Amino acid sequence: MSAPIRILVVDDHPVVRDGLAAMLNTQSDFEVIGEAGDGEEALRKVAECDPDVLLLDLEMPGVDGIETLKRLKEINARARAIVFTVFDTDERIVSAMHAGAMGYLLKGAPREDVFRAVRVVNEGGSLLEPAVASRFLDSINDPDALTARQKEVLNLIATGLLNKEIAGRLYISERTVKFHVSEILAKLGAGNRTEAVAIATEKGLI
C-alpha cells in the first residue's frame, strides 16, 4: 500500500480548519499532518513537516494566501497548493494561479470535489472548478480588460471615495481595495488615481 497523501490545512478560522481536517481524514489515503492559521505559520510547517499538498485560504491576517504561494515558489517547496476560499473574483483566481496554485476550489464545494482535487494535484495535475476555469481563461484571453469588480472600484474612485470608504461600500477589506486599485492602474497604464479616472473617461469605461 502506498504512503498516504500528507496534507497541511491553512485557514485563519479554527472551526474551518478542524472541519476540513476531520473531513479529509475520512479518506484512507489522506493524512492531515498539521494546521496553520496564517501564512507565516504555514511556511514554517512546510519547512518542518514537508507536506505533499496544502489546502490554502486566501484571506488571512499578516501573510495572506497569495503571498504564501509566492514564498513557496521562491523556496522551491515541494508541496503543491490548492486554494480553498470564498473569493471567486477574476483577479483573485488569476493572481493565485500565477503565484503557483495548482488548484482553486470555492468553499461550499462538494467534499468529493475536494477529495478529487487533492488526489489530482498530488499526482502533478491541476484542477479548477468549471466556473473558476471559465473566468481564468477569459482573463488570459483578454488580460488588459477590467473585471466587473474593478469597474465598480473605478467608478467609486471617480466619485472621490478613499480606499476605506470603497471597502465599506463593497463589503470587502481595504487590502482587497488596494489590490484592485493597483490592478486598475496597471491595466490602464495610469500613474495615479486621477490619471486612471481621466483615461477611463476617455475610453468610455465610466
Query: Does the pLDDT of residue 139 top 70, yes or no?
Result: no
**pLDDT tens digits along 16-57:** 999 999 999 999 999 999 999 999 999 999 999 999 999 999
- Which residues, at least 6 apart from 102, have a Cβ–Cβ distance to it below 8 Å? 80, 81, 82, 121, 125, 126, 127
Lowest mean per-residue pLDDT among 59-68, 114-123, 133-142: 133-142
Pairing relation of β-strands 30-36 and 53-56? unpaired
Write down the pTM of the prediction: 0.66
Q: Please compute Rg for the chain using Cα positions.
A: 19
* Set of cell numbers at residue 115: 477529495
Please determine, for residue 183, whether its predicted confidence score (pLDDT) is greater than 90: no
Q: To the nearest whole percent, how much of the chain has pLDDT over 70? A: 90
Q: How confident is the model over 87-127, as pLDDT tens digits? A: 766 667 778 888 889 988 888 888 999 999 999 999 988 87
Mean pLDDT along residues 53-80: 92
